[in-house]
Amino acid sequence: MKKYINPDNNKIEAILQRPTAGVNEIEPAVKQVFDEVMTKGEEAVLKYTELFDGVVPENREVSRSEFEEASLKVPVALKEAITTAARNIEKFHIAQKTEKIRVETMPGVFCWQEKKPIEKVGLYIPGGTAPLFSTVLMLGIPAKVAGCKEVIICTPPGKDGSVNPAILFAAQLCGVDRVFKVGGIQAIAAMTFGTSFIPKVYKIFGPGNQYVTAAKQWATRYQVAIDMPAGPSELMVVADETAVPAYVAADLLSQAEHGVDSQVILLSTSAGFCEQVENEINTQLADLPRKAIAEKAIENSRIIVVDDIDTLIRLMNSYGPEHLIISAREEDRIREAVTNAGSVFLGNYTPESAGDYASGTNHTLPTNGYAKQYSGVNLDSFTKSITYQKISEEGITNLGSVIEYMAEAEGLYAHKNAVSLRLQDLKNKSNE
């Protein structure tokens, strides 16, 4: 990890730069795949699945027998762990339900808001070196709680054309019974346009690599919504000598092992503490099965030491991390100052991996600085808020002149007339 001690303000932006490729480098490939899927449909999906994943699955959709076989392959202890995590995630997302809001803004003018589920949603579940069955829970459960009518999953197939059994077990647990063996750009394109096999959806959810992230953003050109820009994983740990170096090192490595393009940052007011963490990283790294991946990510990572809490807070919010761990003496002060973060973890005994798996919060979060504008996935991500209004005779009498004056001032006389006709009828009625 590169270390910076009290860096100059004019160097901060460069120091906090993410190791992600520019969109311009990725978009040509995304456009090519989208154009082919739009015109050739399933043929193009199969072509790119073979090209990128090195396989053409015999069955493009997971069959009932494959679901049954997968359930038998998942160890009992893992099933119990997944089920416990699912209960916590469901409990937290059910708690996010809100009642209908109804207000009489003035006598006779009634306005209210109701939330309706998005009917058709597509969930992208990363495969590759780390099949994320936990993401199935994070997306499938709120989709179920929200009441989405059609929920499908796209996930990359393995070299043998199969889908990881834990992914299929989690899908069944969430009530998702349509899983397609397709990943990458072609999966996002298929859900965008629909093919003879994969249905078109209204909104696409899920994390992925830089290509998947760019593909999701490209999908918005075709009237398909996405949850957020969610690319390579990242973590910032804000810690001082009150934290446990071994814990901090483990947390940093937990994100570094996601992928070579992941980034972790340790931000502290204690240089001595940072040295202890560095030593722990080297010790723990030696025993990691994904050591090569984590090492590459660590090369893109930073240790930043500053003199005071105000500077620390400024850098923290400037970065806007996907995951933010705060384990410091002034925890409350730092926590209250957080304005840009996807999800925050507090204290020595709250590892980021708790949120990744089982505490109940959602792990699908904005990355690459988008925590400044986006929230992580939550129940509202799967719903639309529709407003209603009903105006009585008394209401239009009270409000009518306000609308007339405003419409006339904007030069929109048909708008004014829509009110004036009603007011005149009511006036005539009262004179009868």
Q: Which residues does the annotation place in the binding site for substrate?
A: 233, 255, 258, 323, 356, 410, 415
Rg (the chain; Cα; Å) = 26
Tell me the CA distances in angstroms from 118 to 38, 95, 165, 226, 245, one per residue in order.
23, 19, 28, 12, 44
Residue 206 structure tokens = 């899920």
Residue 291 CA to residue 256 CA, distance in Å, equals 9
Per the annotation, the verdict on 322 as an active-site residue is: yes
Distance CA(221)–CA(188), nearest Å, equals 12
- Binding-site residues sit at 124, 186, 209, 233, 255, 258, 323, 356, 410, 415
Distance of CA 374 to the CA centre of its chain: 9
**Residue in the structure block whose two tokens are 């239009």:** 396
203-205 and 225-226 strand pairing: parallel
Q: What share of the chain is helix, strand, coil (3-state, %, to 5)?
A: 50, 15, 35
Candidate list 322, 352, 363, 404, residue with the active-site label: 322
Residues 6 or more apart in contact with residue 385 via CB below 8 angstroms? 113, 114, 115
Token reading at 270: 């204690």
Could you identify the residue written with the tokens 């109804």?
102
Catalytic residue among 323, 352, 363, 404: 323
Answer yes or no: are the C-beta atoms of 121 and 202 closer than 8 Å.
Answer: yes
Binding-site positions for Zn(2+): 255, 258, 356, 415
192 neighbors 4 (Cβ within 8 angstroms): no
Q: Are 228 and 374 in contact (CB under 8 A)?
A: yes
Q: Which residues define the annotated binding site for NAD(+)? A: 124, 186, 209
Is the CB of residue 7 less than 8 Å from the CB of residue 267? Answer: no
DSSP, residue by residue, 346-379: ESTT--HHHHHHTSSS------TTGGGT-PPP-G
Place of tokens 């807070």: 313
The rounded distance, in Å, linking the Cα atoms of 369 and 126 is 21
The catalytic residues are 322-323
